């Protein structure tokens, strides 16, 4: 990894630390003011203020005590410009504090980070749950793989 890649990945580490501490303000501070945060449900939460308030509700409610944990594989960091990085990574949550995402909680995560005067911030985030499309097929239905 290059120094620039490590700088970008350090932001993702800080996001995980803030989540694991249940600190919505610290979590949201790593996003741009106008960030887009797309949940695994497909909902877009635009803006840092909404990201903070929605995560406060999560941390005080259904995700209280949960931990963000890495998924399988190494994150892929690609710079599309010197000040814009795209990261695709595996990860998920553990409600029991385990070191791996619990079944059904693993995602592919896509981040777009921009370098601002205060350092790198997330301008866009998308959480897509990992699933097996063939698992939902009916027994006699033809199964196709995506290639």
Within 10 angstroms of residue 47's Cβ, the number of other Cβ atoms is 17
**pLDDT tens digits, one per residue of 28-40:** 999 999 999 999 8
Number of domains in the chain: 1
Average pLDDT value for residue range 95-114: 87
pTM > 0.85: yes or no: yes
Residue at 73 is within a domain: yes
Residue at 145 is within a domain: no
Check residue 52 and give its pLDDT.
98
**pLDDT tens digits, one per residue of 47-95:** 999 999 999 999 999 999 999 988 878 999 999 999 999 999 999 888 8
Of the pLDDT bands very low, low, confident and very high (cuts 50, 70, 90), residue 147 is: very low
Phi and psi angles of residue 51, each rounded to the nearest 5 degrees, phi first: -60, -45
Q: Which residue has the higher pLDDT, 102 or 109?
A: 109
Check residue 129 and give its pLDDT.
87
Q: How far apart are CA 93 and CA 40, in angstroms?
A: 12
Q: Which of 9, 2, 1 is nearest to 119 (CA)?
A: 9
**pLDDT tens digits, one per residue of 107-125:** 999 999 999 998 999 999 9
Residue at 92 is within a domain: yes
Q: Domain range for residue 37? A: 3-129
Are 72 and 90 in contact, with CB atoms under 8 Å apart?
yes
Handedness of CA 49, 50, 51, 55 (dihedral sign): positive
Residue at 147 is within a domain: no
Check residue 142 and give its pLDDT.
46
Q: How far apart are CA 102 and CA 18, in angstroms?
A: 20
Residue at 143 is within a domain: no
| Cα-based angle 33, 128, 37 (whole degrees, multiple of 5) | 10
Q: How far apart are CA 14 and CA 27, in angstroms?
A: 8
CATH of the domain at 27: 3.10.450.50
Q: How far apart are CA 52 and CA 25, in angstroms?
A: 6
Residue at 146 is within a domain: no
Average pLDDT value for residue range 3-30: 97
Check residue 105 and give its pLDDT.
85
């Amino acid at each position: 990894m290059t120094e620039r890649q490590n700088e970008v990945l350090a932001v993702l580490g800080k996001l995980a630390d803030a989540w694991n501490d249940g600190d919505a303000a610290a979590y949201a501070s790593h996003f741009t003011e106008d960030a887009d945060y797309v949940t695994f449900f497909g909902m877009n939460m635009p803006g840092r203020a909404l990201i903070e308030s929605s995560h406060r509700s999560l941390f005080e409610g259904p995700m209280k005590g949960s931990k963000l944990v890495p998924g399988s594989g190494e994150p892929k960091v690609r710079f599309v410009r010197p000040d814009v990085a795209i990261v695709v990574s595996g990860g998920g949550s553990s409600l029991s504090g385990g070191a791996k995402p619990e079944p059904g909680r693993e995602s592919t995560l896509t981040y777009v980070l921009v370098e601002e005067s205060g350092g790198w911030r997330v301008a866009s985030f998308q959480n897509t749950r990992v699933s097996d499309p063939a698992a939902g097929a009916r027994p006699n239905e033809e199964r196709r793989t995506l290639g």
